[in-house]
């Protein structure tokens, strides 16, 4: 289903992925078909009317295994592991794209940079590359899992569900299984700090490929390894409120070893997902490999005040996740036998590595797998069809503009964003009420639990099952994975080469005395200075990178005056003018395409760079220190905001700014000194036209001079060729 394309009235079908039971009696076995229709759909579309999407589903009948149908009334209460929410009326509500962390961050950066339009261009370009505009339409693909509550009495005929045989049937087998469970480690530890964490709650018996097939058929995916690239993808998933099904997990050890397999199951969010880690053991059961696993359900992301970092919040009732995994695998037909085994030695009141409470009955589910080669059965009407989830690129661009403008009018200011951001970070993300417990009854019994397995209360787990100091001290190879994104800061020196400044002349002549004239020549030049800046570099290809940069340079603007008379120049006139060097600020945004001589897997990456640039130059103070009454030149003390908004009407010598497009080119070296840190040295040149500080002021400079009947002729301005700025910088970058 898709809020963009699905129409009201569309028929839908699903299957129950867990049994519905009451007091140990199975009322509806897993696999029962439920049918209904789409009652209401509201799409975002162009964004003019609605900022969020909504879908209401109406399920109206059950299709039993024998083909009989039973009317049902129920209300959807949750789209599991989804960014969407469900209101009290069962309406599925989509997200507002402008409420995501990514949009708030972009908006806040834009607000902070309002004083400098060049900085605003950089923050817009960089944030658009780093963080995408989140898709507001709802997409519920085949396999989406829903929770629903029955809202009216349900008359069901008796059912006899298929009974799953136990792993251990005889007394000898039960004792053997009990001994196997006792021999296995049961507590995981955080890898770096050796803090006790999750309990194991699952055992699998079977081949490696059987495990893979079972979880693949159940809709679970293997997670990615933790690298710079996957860290960046995780960051984007959180900031954009978008899905990352294979997001990596934190490292936990069992018996001092990392897990062999890691699986997760989610829909379209990073904050909520089912996940588990699987370790191979040295034990065997009927000649098959024994694997043990720890599974938990992430239900949100919170900020830990104690550790001052973001953490996943879990459903503390970890038996729910144990049931989830068992139910999912049973539904695939890949399980031949299942059994729950008690472990009275599991401590009460335990917490995981981040301090989350672990509530469990201590039992572990043992599943014996088959070859999983039987064909999957599909319920009637579950054929998938491709549905568009949004419009084309043109429509999405227009929608983004509309939604952003609407948001800017109401919410996008520093005060509102600051409050909402603080509220988001400080608000608890974990609901006080625990998630509804998951039923695991099959055939009326809870997987043939044998209570006698709880009798051995004298068991003491051997300390060797904790992560040993030797294992923790073992050297770990650094993850030198290619960097996808580099966030850098740099500083350095700026000088001017080639043309350096301009000049303007005023020829004052008396008509009565032809040889009586005065020539005033005003000229400017620039002195070198220093600068600070930042870069965002993307590495999508082997040898090519895309770099966005912003730099602000602090240099000096010098004004010089020459006075030439027909016969002699009065010393009083020459000393009537005094000039002080004033600060010249230059903000520069540039995009450069980098060609790297080495692939992105290399630590040392020399490169060539070229691309367009846009810069704003402005004087930060008045260039005239003192002047006679008849001569005034730029006496206003201006700041950057004036230069940004008055550059079109205010002369540069009076506080306006000069915008220039140019060509940026150069070379440099980037060297990774650590997996997440890079040192860089850059040499760049920026070629632009000579900035014109004179044209807009040439009629005003001598405006207050009383020249009697003399005439004034303006000569120029003239410029000394193109300007070439030379940048030599160094800095560091943090890599993803």
CATH number of the domain to which 701 belongs: 2.40.160.20
Residue 385 included in any domain = no
What's the rounded mean pLDDT across residues 450-471? 34
Count of the separate structural domains present in the chain: 3
Residues 128, 245: one domain? no
Residues 414, 533: one domain? no
Residues 338, 401: one domain? no
Residue 463 included in any domain = no
Sign of CA dihedral 672, 678, 683, 687: positive
Residues 230, 320: one domain? yes
What pLDDT, in 10s, does the model give residues 298-327? 988 776 665 555 677 888 999 999 999 999
Write the DSSP assignment of 365-433 as a string of letters: EEEEE----SPPP--TT--------S--HHHHHHHHHHHHHHHHHHT-SHHHHHHHHHHHHHS--S-SS
pTM of the model: 0.70
Residues 51, 117: one domain? yes
Residues 368, 398: one domain? no
Angle at Cα 245 formed by Cα 239 and Cα 248, nearest 5°?
Answer: 80
Give me 168's structure tokens: 């251990």
Residue 498 included in any domain = yes
Range of 686's domain?
A: 485-735
Asked whether residue 568 carries a pLDDT value surpassing 60, the answer given is: no
Residues 181, 317: one domain? yes
Whole-number Cα distances in Å, 280 to 284, 290, 544, 547: 10, 7, 41, 45
Asked whether residue 105 carries a pLDDT value surpassing 70, the answer given is: no
Write the DSSP assignment of 479-512 as a string of letters: --PPPSEEEEEEEEEEEEEEB--EEEEEEEE-SS
Residues 678, 711: one domain? yes
* pLDDT at residue 493, rounded to an integer: 96
What pLDDT, in 10s, does the model give residues 326-355? 999 999 999 999 999 999 999 998 988 888
Residue 723 included in any domain = yes
Residue 165 included in any domain = no
Residues 77, 210: one domain? no
Residue 468 included in any domain = no
Residue 461 included in any domain = no
Q: Rounded to an integer, what distance in angstroms lies between the CA atom of residue 332 and that of residue 648?
A: 69
Residue 471 included in any domain = no
What pLDDT, in 10s, does the model give residues 612-642? 999 988 887 644 333 333 333 322 223 333 4
What pLDDT, in 10s, does the model give residues 707-729? 677 788 888 888 878 899 999 99
Residues 405, 267: one domain? no
Number of Cα atoms under 13 Å in the Cβ half of residue 143: 13
Residues 422, 507: one domain? no
Residues 337, 446: one domain? yes
What pLDDT, in 10s, does the model give residues 678-695? 999 999 999 999 998 888
């Amino acid at each position: 289903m898709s809020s963009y394309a699905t129409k009201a009235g569309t028929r839908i079908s699903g299957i129950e992925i867990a049994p519905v039971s009451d007091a140990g009696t199975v009322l509806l076995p897993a696999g029962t078909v439920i049918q209904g229709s789409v009652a209401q759909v509201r799409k975002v579309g162009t964004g003019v009317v609605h900022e969020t999407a909504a879908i209401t589903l109406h399920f109206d009948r059950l299709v039993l295994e024998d083909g009989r149908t039973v009317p049902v009334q129920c209300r959807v209460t949750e789209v599991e592991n989804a960014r969407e929410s469900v209101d009290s009326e069962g309406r599925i509500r989509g997200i507002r794209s402008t409420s995501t962390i990514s949009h708030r961050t972009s908006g806040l950066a834009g607000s902070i940079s309002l004083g400098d339009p060049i900085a605003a261009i950089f923050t817009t370009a960089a944030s658009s590359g780093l963080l995408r505009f989140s898709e507001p339409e709802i997409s519920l693909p085949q396999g989406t899992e829903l929770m629903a509550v029955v809202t009216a009495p349900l008359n069901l005929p008796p059912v006899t569900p298929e009974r799953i045989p136990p792993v251990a049937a005889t007394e000898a087998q039960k004792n053997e299984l009990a001994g196997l469970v006792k021999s296995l480690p049961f507590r995981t530890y955080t890898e770096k700090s050796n803090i006790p964490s999750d309990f194991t709650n699952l055992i699998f018996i079977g081949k490696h490929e059987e495990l893979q097939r079972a979880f693949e058929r159940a809709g679970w995916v293997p997670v990615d390894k933790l690298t710079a690239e996957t860290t960046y993808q995780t960051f984007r998933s959180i900031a954009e409120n978008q899905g990352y099904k294979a997001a990596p997990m934190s490292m936990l050890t069992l018996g001092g070893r990392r897990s062999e397999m890691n699986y997760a199951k989610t829909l379209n969010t990073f904050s909520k997902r089912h996940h588990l880690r699987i370790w191979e053991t040295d034990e065997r059961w009927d000649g098959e490999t024994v694997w043990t696993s720890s599974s938990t359900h992430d239900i949100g992301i919170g900020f830990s005040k104690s550790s001052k970092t973001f953490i996943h919040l879990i459903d503390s009732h970890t038996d729910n996740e144990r049931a989830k995994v068992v139910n999912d695998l049973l539904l695939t037909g890949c399980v031949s036998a299942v059994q729950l085994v008690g472990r009275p030695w599991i401590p009460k009141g335990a917490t995981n590595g981040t301090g989350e409470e672990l509530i469990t009955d201590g039992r572990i589910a043992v599943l014996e797998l088959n070859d999983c080669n039987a064909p999957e059965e599909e319920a009637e009407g579950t054929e998938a069809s491709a549905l568009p989830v949004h419009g084309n690129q043109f429509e999405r661009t227009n929608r983004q503009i509309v939604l952003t403008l609407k948001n800017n009018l109401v919410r996008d200011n520093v005060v509102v964003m600051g409050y909402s951001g603080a509220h988001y970070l400080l608000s608890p993300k974990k609901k006080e009420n625990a998630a509804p417990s998951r039923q695991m009854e099959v055939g009326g019994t809870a997987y043939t639990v044998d209570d006698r397995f709880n009798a051995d209360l004298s068991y003491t787990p051997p300390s060797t099952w904790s992560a040993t100091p030797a294992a923790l001290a073992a050297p770990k190879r650094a993850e030198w994975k290619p960097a996808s994104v580099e966030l850098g800061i740099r500083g350095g020196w700026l000088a001017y080469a080639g043309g350096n400044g301009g000049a303007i002349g005023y020829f004052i002549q008396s008509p009565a005395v032809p040889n009586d004239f005065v020539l005033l020549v005003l000229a400017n030049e620039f002195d070198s200075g220093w600068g600070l800046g930042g870069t965002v570099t993307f590495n999508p290809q082997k040898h090519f990178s895309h770099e966005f940069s912003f730099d602000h340079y602090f240099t000096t603007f010098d004004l010089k005056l020459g006075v030439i008379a027909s016969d002699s120049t009065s010393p009083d006139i020459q000393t009537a003018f005094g000039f002080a060097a004033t600060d010249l600020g230059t903000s520069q945004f540039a995009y450069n395409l980098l060609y790297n001589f080495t692939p992105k897997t290399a630590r040392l990456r020399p490169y060539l760079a070229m691309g367009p640039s846009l810069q704003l130059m402005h004087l930060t103070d008045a260039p005239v220190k003192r002047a006679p009454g008849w001569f005034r030149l730029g006496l206003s003390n201006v700041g950057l905001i004036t230069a940004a908004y008055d550059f079109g009407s205010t002369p540069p010598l009076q506080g306006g700014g000069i915008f220039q497009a140019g060509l940026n080119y150069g070379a440099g070296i980037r060297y990774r000194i650590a997996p997440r840190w890079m040192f860089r040295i850059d040499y760049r040149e920026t070629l632009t036209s000579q900035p014109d500080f004179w044209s807009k002021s040439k009629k005003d400079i001598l405006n207050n001079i009383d020249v009697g009947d003399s005439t004034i002729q303006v000569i120029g301005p003239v410029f000394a060729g193109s300007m070439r700025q030379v940048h030599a910088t160094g800095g560091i970058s943090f890599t993803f």
